[in-house]
Amino acid sequence: MGADMIATAMLLPVDENGHLLDDATTHDLFTTALVNCDESALDRAIEYLDEALDDPDLGEPLKDHVRGLLQEAIDRLFGPNADCVRELTTLWVRGMPMLVTGGMSWGDSPTEALELVSLLNAANLIPELQRNRPADKAGPDYITMRFT
pLDDT at residue number 4: 80
Residue 124 has pLDDT above 70, yes or no: yes
More confident residue, 132 or 64: 64
What residue type is 9 in one-letter code? A
Report, as an integer, the average pLDDT of 54-67: 72
pLDDT tops 90 at residue 93: no
Q: Higher pLDDT residue, 131 or 100?
A: 100
What integer pLDDT is reported at residue 142 of this predicted model?
Answer: 45
Q: How confident is the model at residue 147 (pLDDT cuts 50, 70, 90)?
A: very low
Query: If you average pLDDT over residues 21-30, what whole number do you get?
Result: 93
pTM comes to: 0.79
Q: What DSSP line would sit under 32-97, residue for residue? A: HHHHT--HHHHHHHHHHHTTT-S-TT--HHHHHHHHHHHHHHHHHHHSTT-S-GGG-EEEEETTEE
Please tell me the predicted confidence (pLDDT) of residue 146.
45
